[in-house]
Structure 1
Amino acid sequence: MPRTESVVTVFISSPSDVSAEREILDSVVNELNRTWSRTLGIRLEPIMWEIHSRPAFGNDPQDVLNDQLPDDYDVFLGILWGRIGTPTPRAESGTLEEFEHAFERYKNDKDSIELMVYFKDEGIAPSKTDPEQLAQVQKFKESLGEKGGLYSTFEDASSFESSLRAHLSSLAQKYSGISRSSQNEAKEISKPDSNVAKDVDISESEEIELGFFDYLEIYESQMSDMNSTLNVISEATVKIGNLMNKRVDEVNALEESERGGKPARKIVKMASDDISRFALALKQQLPLYSSARREAFDALSNALSLYGDFGDTEPDNLEQLDSGLNSMLNGASGAKASLIGFRDTIANLPRLSSELNRAKRGAVTQLDRMLDELDGTESTVKNILDSIAKMR
């Protein structure tokens, strides 16, 4: 029997500095389509200039793209980082021109298009930073709030992939609930029997596909590992804080004549060793936390992509996920605040010896890396919580 699926077109707009994210997006869409084609009857079709344009002439390069790329797409998805793009005769960049065109459609008919904009919040090497371009990106970001828009941020490739998968999953839930007969955005196509047979062949291959509860189990296991790692780091931070207080008390207990001599240098040496051990403990825990974070949110976003199999029959699953994620968000925010304060304390220690300076530098480096991981946790959790809210 032939089966039908609704095609939801997604227009991808971005400057050239996020090519890696465009590849991730294409990969995630292909992965989700393999699931949704059968369970939700939906397929996402990315509209990308790399695929849907050809060499031609016009008033300018963007004019050529405007003429060749379809303008009746269902979703506008923009990605920006440190560049706004190349100016056109009509806008500050091609990306902004594409956004303004999509936004005009939204203003005319809010049901005609979905607008999704992502900003990469990762450091840029000074040699690759263009202050003017960066300022224009910030200006555009601020303008979205004035237009009533809510954008998403991500810290790294893993955060983007997990957030994107979760957001597209909530989008799929919306389109799967729209009657095909009244759906203006989706284009129905027939799938021949041969494709159904091909799906069966894939499911019977040696690679066993994981299901909703499999992914939840992985997510819960990795979340447990994340919490365990945070506990170890928290204990190490409390311990080094107590040791630092002890060293201060030892210095204060010295006679005035001793504070510039050997006894003081001995205490500074012990403080340096304390800080170095703390930095080593952080260095050992960082890859464990990073790996657990990537696997946890990857599994959770995959689970959400399969939620359409249940529809509204398993609302408790979303409630439990929401509660667990909010707990993780609170824990990450608390750990972040504590580490920021301790980082400032370490960084502001006086430069009393080369050993202490080296220990300070090592600890600050590891603390910065851990803070980056917590930033990634916060942004990804917020994005997934937003997707869960839209699925209810």
Structure 2
Amino acid sequence: MTKLIRPIRVLLSSPGNMKEDRAVFREVAENVNLDAGRREGYALEVVGWETHTRPGAGSYAQSVINKQLPDVDIFVAFIGHHFGTPTENWKSGTEEEFRIAYDQWKETGRPEIMLYFSEVAPSIGAIDVEQLANRQKFKKEVSDLGVYYFDYAEAASFKWELYRHLTQTASEIMERPISKDAAVQAPPDVSLGSLANYQKLVDENSTIAVEDQIYTASRFMESYTSISVDLTDYVKRFARNLNKATKQIEQAAASGAPSKIVDASSFTSKILHGYQMKLREMIPKMQGSIEQSLVSLQRGLTIAESNGLQDKFPRELLATHCDGLTDALLGLRKTVVNLTDTIEQWPNDLGDISSQKLRILALHADFTQYLDRIVSLLNEVRGSN
């Protein structure tokens, strides 16, 4: 029997500096297609200026883009602290695309509108007061229009929420009537490297699909736990070395001998440098592992819930993956906070040591905020309050 799928077009709008966010969206959309899309019979088609437009002439550049973009079912916009380049009518191309979509929604009830604002802080050199003002003004205006938007600040939790938002929105669209002409035949999988029979089994057997996602999540969670344990041990060793370095500096200062002061300062600077470099290496690794684990867990949960398998795969089952990790992360956070308190007491006139101090304090602030977000997300996965 020929399998038909319903294409759901999604216009992806953003200023040009949101490449990473756009890539995340496309990745999540593909996961939704592989999970709910396969089972419910739809495929999200992501439409964007980089894939669906060509050079052309018009009254102004954005008008050329507007003319070439097709009608869509969902309008999605990502906006950071850079609002974008003004058009003839609005403060940015993204705003103009939103205004068009919003007017269409008022008239026809479509497209669905999903607005996301990145709260990732820009570097000091990238701050533009006018751009920030335009962004804040736009946020207020869309709120006054009755548009509910979503703020995000961290990739793992953002992927988690975005997957949920897209799955729910696509399911709601699937409940609406559609003409037969709008459905298209699913293309055959002709990839020589594809596991066609196994993929067919996963598509048709929801239990196996959930088990595969849980297994994948467990593998990434084990990797994350291992990295977390290694980093915790390293932080504790650093704390001991830092205590030793502090005593050396105090003794050198008390002796008044310049050579001892230089040696103590050199030793301290060396361990501080090694520590901040280790943090810069390990934190991204932790982020990548937990992100992949939580995405797989979410995909498994969604498949289970959409196929009535909650009793077989209850959320409580996930506690076996999350409880120990949550406790470990809270312990790591406590150690980092204690270290921060110690380092903050160091004077700011110690040359290179002072520079290393500032780097570590900034990394600690980023790290503790990250740990807080991950612990909160783990609690959400478990269904904890």
In the superposition, the TM-score normalised over structure 1's length comes to 0.71
1:51-130 alignment, distance < 5 Å:
51-74=51-74, 76-103=75-102, 113-119=112-118, 121=120, 123-124=122-123, 126=125, 130=128
Residue 310 of structure 1, CA deviation? 1.8
Query: CA offsets, 1:242-292, max 9 Å, x none?
Result: 44664687589x5xxx6xx32x86367435524532432443354234223
1:170-189 alignment, distance < 5 Å:
170-175=164-169, 177-178=171-172, 180-182=174-176, 189=183
| Structure number with higher relative contact order (C-alpha < 8 Å, ≥ 6 residues apart) | 1
Unaligned runs of 5+ in 2: 203-208
Which residue is 1:304 aligned to? 298
**Equivalent-residue separation in structure 1 for 2:221 and 2:64 (angstroms):** 49
Q: Does the CA contact (< 8 Å) of 2:85 and 2:93 recur in 1? A: yes
Query: CA offsets, 1:318-340, max 9 Å, x none?
Result: 77369658768756765665565
1:1-392 alignment, distance < 5 Å:
1-30=1-30, 32-74=32-74, 76-103=75-102, 113-119=112-118, 121=120, 123-124=122-123, 126=125, 130-140=128-138, 149-154=148-153, 159=155, 162-163=156-157, 165-175=159-169, 177-178=171-172, 180-182=174-176, 189-191=183-185, 195-196=187-188, 198=190, 202-204=194-196, 211-236=212-237, 238-239=239-240, 242-243=243-244, 246=247, 250=251, 254=254, 261-262=256-257, 266=260, 269-270=263-264, 272-284=266-278, 286-311=280-305, 312-314=308-310, 316-317=314-315, 320=318, 324=323, 334=334, 337-338=337-338, 340-342=340-342, 344-346=344-346, 348-351=347-350, 357-369=351-363, 371-376=365-370
- In the alignment, residue 317 of structure 1 is paired with which amino acid? R
**Equivalent-residue separation in structure 1 for 2:96 and 2:329 (angstroms):** 36
Which residue is 1:354 aligned to? none
Q: Secondary structure of 1:151's match?
A: strand
Q: Secondary structure of 2:17's match?
A: helix
The CA RMSD over aligned residues, in Å, is 4.5
Change (3 A) 1:152 1:100: same
Change (3 A) 1:129 1:289: closer
Q: Secondary structure of 1:15's match?
A: coil
**Equivalent-residue separation in structure 1 for 2:244 and 2:315 (angstroms):** 44
Change (3 A) 1:124 1:61: same
Q: Does the CA contact (< 8 Å) of 1:14 and 1:79 recur in 2? A: yes
In the superposition, the TM-score normalised over structure 2's length comes to 0.72
Q: Secondary structure of 2:33's match?
A: helix
Residue 104 of structure 1, CA deviation? 5.5
Unaligned runs of 5+ in 1: 352-356
Change (3 A) 1:145 1:181: closer
Q: Secondary structure of 1:310's match?
A: helix
Q: Does the CA contact (< 8 Å) of 2:221 and 2:290 recur in 1? A: yes
The percent of aligned pairs where both chains have the same amino acid is 18
